[in-house]
Structure 1
Amino acid sequence: MNIALRNLRGPAAALALLLAPLVLSGCGPSSEAPLAGARIGGPFALTDQNGKRMTDQALAGKYRIMYFGYSYCPDVCPTDLALITAGLKAFEAKAPALAAKVQPVFVTIDPARDTPARLKTYLADFHPRLIGLTGSAAEIAAIARAYGVPYSRGEGAGDAYMMNHGNQVYLMAPDGAPIALMPTEPGRTPQDFAGELTRWVK
């Protein structure tokens, strides 16, 4: 299961467990989207890395790779973002016209530290089309809840704290419906990621 719980407890852990059947449903070779009909996603209004307000309507007509994390994450987030970047670039090399329909999106779960300027600097190391989104604590809580992403503040004093969070990567359809969880588990390759895009992006 591609969900890093990192000591989550209570409602957050329960939410992650609810996602387990959805993750497992994608294991077989089926033509139906593994997450078809799942209540994942929805409208949002956030702020991008350029300081501009952005809603989900700006992504209409695009496949979206949705990932939630934070810029101060020491390991999981940069590893996942590197795989997303390499996987999407591999898909671009194979099918540039189809890849142009895919928009990668990074949503912070640490809005207190992840300002637009911080996100712009951090995301510069990854895919050039990657959109970074932040917002108020309430706005981030709302979108994380809509996507079933558990998170909580971890240990650390002042600004030197960690965040516990799920690290599932969603592929969403042009109409905003969920399609599948993307392969980013340890051992997965950019070719695995590109292969999943080839399977679903039309």
Structure 2
Amino acid sequence: MNDGAVAYRDLSYRTRWVTYEFLQDSWKMFNAINVAEKNAGEPGARMVIAAGFRVRGRASGNKDVAIQFKDIVTKYSTGKLTLERALGAASQVRSSFDIIPKLQGNFAFTKAYVAEQGGKSEGFKGPNIYVDLSLFKVPAPEWLHIGKPFKWENQRLNLEATFAQLLSLPHGREVVSTADGPIEGGPEGVRSGIEVARVLAGDDDVLRALRNASKPD
């Protein structure tokens, strides 16, 4: 991005460690960039970490392209378009996905971008790091060092979240046991992907809700 950078990660339905690993990586990147910025006499960068759903892969974009081509062929075969106009229309067809499909239809990216653009007037001041608290259980774990939480919303885009400045992030790793054997966990208080999804969707049976939402009319 112009004068910025984006990092993204799909969370795990099974373990909260992936969530915490992304937070750790984000914390390391933020500090590395800001050390370099300050050494260069620059004011430093601001980071916003947000959670959200996204459209996965290129399937949706390819389906949309196929529909557009089919429409052009139909109009040409029925005489509604000349060959010249049909070829011109076909040359303008574009997939809804660009060079980085994981950032297209990505509501976490949209939320983080719009929130960061709000700047100081919306609670995101200075070269600090802010985190979407939907990534953590309520109440927030005692080991999490954050500033005072604040509500943020953008009514035009129907986006909302509770953010807080991330002051520091301890490092740790643990192994938890399940019926399937040991899996990598993460510090208590961090949410796994399915737990985050339930909060964002406001539905405990979020997988069923998402399947129903993706079905064609």
Q: TM-score, normalised by structure 2?
A: 0.23
Q: Which has the higher contact order (CA 8 A, sep 6+)?
A: 1
Return the structure number with greater strand share. 1
Structure showing greater Rg: 2
